Amino acid sequence: MNEKTTLGQIRTEDWGLIDYRDAYERQKKLAQEVGRGHDSCLVLCEHPPVLTLGRLASKNNILAPGDVLARQGMDVLEIDRGGDVTLHGPGQLVAYPIMDLKNYRRDLKWFLFKLEQVAIDFLKDFDILTCRYAGRTGVWIESKKIASIGVGAKHWVTFHGLAVNINTDLQLFNLIRPCGLNVQMTSLKELKGEKMNMQVVKQRCIYHFLRHFTRDEIRKV
């Protein structure tokens, strides 16, 4: 599935369920295009189960032995984003904003803050009140984490992004120490007590993302 819509200066694309490596290659290609002046793009997708390690991540934060991971067909990939180890899997909404921050604000901290706010705002649409903690980037409900963030930037064009647990199988997180922290993960499904409609969630995510990253909104900052 590849839906394209245009609103303002940011396109959105839905890549559906896509292998992590394929999505990474497509992100890189998109980032090059955005760097050459194409519109910024928000990509939404889900991945089959995979573990990824950010730069400077500790492999000790993968708790499951290699043979257990191999039996589950779980790949472990070292990638060029910030943050430690994380898990992606079906039911987790992954948002990759491919943005040229030269057109917005050359500020990585601001960008991370904005991504957190997008997740906080769209989760609020489902009556889930979340928060952020200084020094622990991500989105939290008290001591449980629902969204993880890790981005990369080259020539101020961003890639990687935000992963929010919607219907994610939370058992999978037992394989790792998420983000290198002794933290329990949660999901929108767990909090609401029912499986969520991913298409509806994606629409709310797009709405708040565009709201936060339109030029008018940026000028208010």
Partner 1 sequence: MQITLPELGEGIAEAAVAFWHVGVGDAVKKDDDLVEFVTDKATFTISAERDGTIKEIFFQVGEQVKIGAPIVRLDPLS
Decide whether 115 or 191 has the Cβ nearer to partner 1: 115
Q: How far apart are CA 201 and CA 65, in angstroms?
A: 34
Active site residue 179: yes
Residue 149: which of 139, 134, 135, 157 has the closest Cα?
139
Which one of 42-50, 80-88, 166-174, 181-189 is the stretch in contact with partner 1 (CB under 8 A)?
80-88
Closest residue by Cα to residue 79 from 29, 20, 138: 20
Tell me the closest approach of the beta carbon of residue 32 to partner 1, in angstroms: 10
Query: Least separation, in Å, of the C-beta of 4 and partner 1?
Result: 27
- Is 153 an interacting residue with respect to partner 1 (CB under 8 A)? yes
> 85: which strand partners?
53
Cα(62)–Cα(174) distance, integer angstroms: 9
Position 110 contacts partner 1 (CB under 8 A): yes
Find the farthest-apart pair of alpha carbons in the chain and give their distance in angstroms, rounded: 52
* Active-site position among 41, 45, 179, 205: 179
CB 86 within 8 A of CB 178: yes
# residues contacting partner 1 (CB under 8 A): 23
| Alpha helix (H) residue ranges in 102-214 | 108-124, 188-192, 198-213
Do you know the residue count of the chain?
221
Q: Does 108 bind partner 1 (CB under 8 A)?
A: yes
The single residue among 28, 61, 82, 180 that binds partner 1, judged by CB under 8 A, is 82
Q: Which is nearer to partner 1, 81 or 202 (CB)?
A: 81
Nearest approach in angstroms of CB 153 to partner 1 is: 5
The CA dihedral of 136, 150, 48, 14, to the nearest 10 degrees, is 120
104 binds partner 1 (CB under 8 A): no
> What single-letter DSSP state applies at residue 39?
P
d(CA 67, CA 47): 21
Out of 83, 91, 97, 178, which residue is the one contacting partner 1 (CB under 8 A)?
83
Using rule CB under 8 A, residue 120 touches partner 1: no
Indicate whether 111 belongs to the interface with partner 1 (CB under 8 A).
yes
Q: Does 80 bind partner 1 (CB under 8 A)?
A: yes
The answer to whether residues 198 and 93 touch, using CB atoms and an 8 Å cutoff, is yes
Minimum distance, C-beta of residue 140 to partner 1, in the bound complex (Å): 14
For residue 185, the minimal CB distance to partner 1 (Å) is: 16
**Which residues sit at the interface with partner 1, rule CB under 8 A?**
54-56, 80-83, 106-112, 137-138, 149-155
Question: What positions carry a catalytic annotation?
Answer: 179
